[in-house]
Amino acid sequence: MARRKQKRKPGQPKPPATPTKPVITASYVKGRAQFHEPVTTGLTPGGLYDILTDAVEGKTARFVTMAEELEEKYLHYAALLEKRKLEILSKGWYVLPGDDSEQAQEIADEFQRLVTNRADFYYLILDLLDALSKGFAVIQPIWDISGPIWYPSSYYRPEPQWFQFGPVNLHEIRFVDPYSNEGEAIDPSQFLIHFHKRKSGHPGRGGLARIASVAWMIQAIALKDWAGFVEVFGVPLRIATMKPSHNNAQQIAAMRQVLEDMGSDAAAIIPDEIADLRLEDGRGSGSSTSGANGPHDAIIRYLDECVSKVVQGQTMTTDNGSSRAQATVHQTTGSLYPQADAFGLGVPLNDQLSRRWTTINYGPDAPAPIINLDVEPEEDVTAFLGQVKEAVDMGARVRESDVLGRLGLEPVDNTDPILGAPAPAPAPAAPPAPGVDPNVP
């Protein structure tokens, strides 16, 4: 096996793509700020249009800033996005050898020990999943070259605002250059680059934040109007009718104080001068009603459900529960999303990270390990056993070992019986004929 047993000697050339420190950092001279001005504060529909248009043209700095802010301001979207990430991260991962050779197994074991078993690998996947919202994610492995086997000891996440798409090749990631619209070329072999392929076409249009931003903008307007409505009509309207003989300015001022006390303290002493006192429902009547099931609530719920369908593929487990059967159907539909996300992560994890690590340490012809994210949906054991029972009752011959294997159980002995319906009980013997001794042959 072409493994290096000794440390590299001083002056010996390094293999490519093994940076031991970040190759891009904050620099005000090059337009790479560590902190970014907020873009959603006071954002108007026209301003949102400009941000989305710039992103399509390759200038993504304001778009990715907005995407980060949406995960802080749009609570429903943030919860859905976090749930989608956790569906990947909570299941774990495992490493398979590149082929059936002994060398491939040894390389896979070493890769698992030095790379995937490290805590930083969890955060690498989390940072790569940032592409769900922004459309792309760029991570730089920081290599430890102190031992015979070189490996990424950490993963550096440059600010996504420091990148843009090329003006000619809109699928090419480049460094932002304040003095050129073309940006600055990067060495892709030094980075892990992940595009979220939600749809075909320009990656700048694939981020979920592009859709969520429109829903958030409409909701922000609706919430502002709703807050103004609640401020005016949230407290019941207090109407007092005074007796005709008590209508001088001093008495009217006293009555006003009574009504104000009822609004702030919900208690007041009602003097005799008041002929009638009514409390009107603050929600009003007819088309002015706003609250649960009112117009503001309806538009906000509608937009949340639309975002749920885009981010999770269903609404039953995110917005409105119903029967268990319907929830199962929706959950099955939603399970397609983590499988697709895991498949997309195979590009940066296998084609880039695993392949490069193997090439650096074992040569370009060595079999690279395969990282598999365990996102297969859990099997419904109750439904499976019901199907087995129905098949057996209909006369199907089912091996016990097949059923136990699906359940993750081991047989109790070396036999492998065929499952079947219980044998019918033997029919009772016919009674002897009258006058016949059954014991006489």
Three-class secondary structure assignment of the chain: CCCCCCCCCCCCCCCCCCCCCCCCCCECCCCECCCCCCCCCCCCHHHHHHHHHHHHCCCCHHHHHHHHHHHHHCHHHHHHHHHHHHHHHCCCEEEECCCCCHHHHHHHHHHHHHHHCCHHHHHHHHHHCCHHHHCEEEEEEEEECCCCCCEEEEEECCCHHHEEECCCCCCCEEEEECCEEEEECCCHHHCEEEECCCCCCCHHHCCHHHHHHHHHHHHHHHHHHHHHHHHHHCCCEEEEEECCCCCCHHHHHHHHHHHHHHHHCCCCCCCCCEEEEEEECCCCCHHHCCCCCCHHHHHHHHHHHHHHHHHHCCCCCCCCCCCHHHHHHHHHHHCHHHHHHHHHHHHHHHHHHHHHHHHHHHCCCCCCCEEEECCCCCCCHHHHHHHHHHHHHCCCCEEHHHHHHHHCCCCCCCCCCEECCCCCCCCCCCCCCCCCCCCCC
pLDDT single digits (tens) 268-319:
666 666 666 676 665 544 445 555 667 777 888 888 888 888 888 876 665 5
Angle at 387 between CA 386 and CA 393, to 5 degrees: 90
217, 219, 224, 222: which is closest to 47 by C-alpha?
Answer: 217
- Residue 434 covered by a domain: no
Distance CA 143, CA 155 (A): 9
Mean of pLDDT values over 363-373? 93
For residue 436, is it within any domain? Answer: no
Whether residue 360 sits in one domain with residue 316 = yes
Clarify whether residues 65 and 183 are in a common domain.
yes
Range in 40-54, 60-74, 217-231 with the lowest mean pLDDT: 217-231
Query: Given 246, 281, 316, which residue is the final one in a domain?
Result: 281
Indicate if 98 and 36 belong to the same structural domain.
yes
- Whether residue 225 is predicted with pLDDT greater than 70 in this model: the reply is yes
Answer yes or no: do 252 and 357 share one domain: no
Residues 146, 267, single domain; the answer is no
Q: Which of 243, 261, 281 is a domain's end point?
A: 281
Q: Is-contact 367 6, C-beta < 8 A?
A: no
Of the spans 27-31, 61-65, 414-418, which averages the highest pLDDT?
61-65
Average pLDDT value for the chain: 80
Distance between CA 159 and CA 156 in Å, rounded?
A: 10
Per the model's pLDDT, the better-predicted residue between 221 and 154 turns out to be: 154
Tell me how many domains the chain contains: 3
Query: Is 322 found in the same domain as 248?
Result: no
Could you tell me the pTM of the whole model?
A: 0.74
CA proximity to 209, closest of 258, 165, 257, 160: 160
| Residue 328: per-residue pLDDT | 54
User: Cα angle at 93 between 90 and 94, to 5 degrees?
Assistant: 155
Sheet containing 180-184: which strands, arranged edge to edge?
A: 163-165, 173-177, 180-184
Q: Where does the pLDDT of residue 85 fall: very low under 50, low under 70, confident under 90, or very high at 90 and above?
A: very high
Burial of 394: CB neighbours in 10 Å, binned 0-12, 13-18, 19+: exposed
With a cut of 60, say whether residue 39 has pLDDT above it.
yes
pLDDT of res. 182: 85
**Between residues 399 and 378, the one the model is more confident about:** 399
- d(CA 17, CA 140) in angstroms, rounded, equals 10
Residues 42 and 78 in one domain: yes
- Look at residue 101 in the predicted model and tell me its pLDDT: 93
- Domain of 396? 381-419
Q: Are residues 175 and 124 in the same domain?
A: yes
Tokens of 105: 């197994």
CA distance 173 to 134: 13
> Residues 170, 174, 177, 179: what is their CA dihedral angle, to the nearest 10 degrees?
-50
Question: How many CB atoms lie under 10 A from the CB of residue 48?
Answer: 17
Residue with tokens 């609250």: 291
What's the rounded mean pLDDT across residues 55-64?
A: 90
**Dihedral, 317, 322, 328, 332 alpha carbons, nearest 10:** -40
Q: What percent of the chain has pLDDT over 70?
A: 74
Tell me the mean pLDDT in the region 344-351. Answer: 93
- Same domain, residue pair 242 and 373: no
Judge contact between 356 and 17, C-beta under 8 A. Answer: yes
CA–chain centroid gap for 384, Å, is: 29
Q: Summarize the confidence of residues 6-26 as an average pLDDT.
A: 63
- pLDDT of res. 171: 81
Closest CA relative to residue 188, chosen from 141, 155, 145, 144: 141
The answer, yes or no, to whether residue 1 has pLDDT greater than 60, is no
265 with 361, same domain? no
In a domain, 430, yes or no: no
Q: What's residue 330's pLDDT?
A: 47
Q: What percent of the chain has pLDDT over 90?
A: 35
pLDDT in tens, 194-211: 999 888 888 888 899 999
Name the least confident of 140-149, 187-196, 284-293, 357-366. 284-293
pLDDT at 427: 63
Q: Are residues 137 and 199 in the same domain?
A: yes
Task: Give yes or no for a contact between 316 and 322, defined as CB atoms under 8 angstroms apart.
Answer: yes
Q: Is 214 domain-assigned?
A: yes
**pLDDT band at residue 116 under the 50/70/90 scheme:** very high
At residue 144, the pLDDT reads 93
For residues 110 and 200, membership in a common domain is answered with: yes
Q: Is residue 439 part of a domain?
A: no
* pLDDT band for position 434 (cuts 50, 70, 90): low
pLDDT band of residue 247 (cuts 50, 70, 90) is low
- Farthest-apart Cα atoms in the chain, separation: 127
Asked if residue 426 belongs to a domain, the reply is no
Residue 135 lies in a domain: yes
